[in-house]
Structures are given as structure tokens and as C-alpha cells.
Amino acid sequence: SVRHSSAAAADLGVAPGDGSDAGHGTGHEVALSLAPAPQDLGTEATLRLDLPVPGLAAGALAFTLLYRLRALLQTGEVPPPPPPPAARAAEH
């Protein structure tokens, strides 16, 4: 089992203190467990979140973290986040 660390969070694009932090002393936790997959098919990753966010937001956060973790483990790089939408729609 791997506990949240600032260096790992930065690699995954999560800044400590943005709601995804382990919350030292607050009871909030992000825990990642890695185990061999059955039939030697790679590695299973289990992410457990105990955060003060609604269920759908926690699910989206878990998906993003696992997606970036997979990319980091497979390629050594984390894909950049999508560019922010334009402030104004293009005028035609």
C-alpha cells in the first residue's frame, strides 16, 4: 500500500492542499494499493478516497488519478491536462 506524498501527487498533477491532499490530521486520506493481477496479467491498482467531496466528484478524481498513474507507469510521463476553454466564443 502506498500513501499519498507531495512528490507523487505533483507527478500526477495534483497539488497538495487542493482537496486531494492526505490531510495530515484531518481524517482525509488517499490510499493506493498495488498487487499482481491474476494469471500474471500485470498489476491491479486500487484507489481508496476518504475526502470531503460528493460521490461523483470523488469518482472523477479517482478516474483522473488512476489514468495519470497508468500513463506514468507505462510511459514515464503524465499527459498534460487539456487546454482551458476560451473565455469567449469565437466571433464569426
pLDDT for 39 equals 92
| DSSP per-residue letters across 10-53 | HHTT--TTSS-S--TTTT-EEEEEEEEPGGG--EEEEEEEE-SS
Residue 57 forms part of a structural domain:
yes
Is 91 inside any structural domain?
A: no
Residue 39's CB is within 10 A of a number of other CB atoms, namely: 6
User: Who wins on pLDDT, 55 or 40?
Assistant: 40
- Whether the per-residue pLDDT at 6 is higher than 70: the answer is no
Domain region containing 54: 2-75
CB of 70 within 8 A of CB of 11?
A: no
Report the domain count for the chain: 1
CA 57/CA 53 separation, integer angstroms? 6
Q: What is the pTM of this model?
A: 0.50
51 part of a folded domain: yes
Question: For position 78, what pLDDT does the model report?
Answer: 82
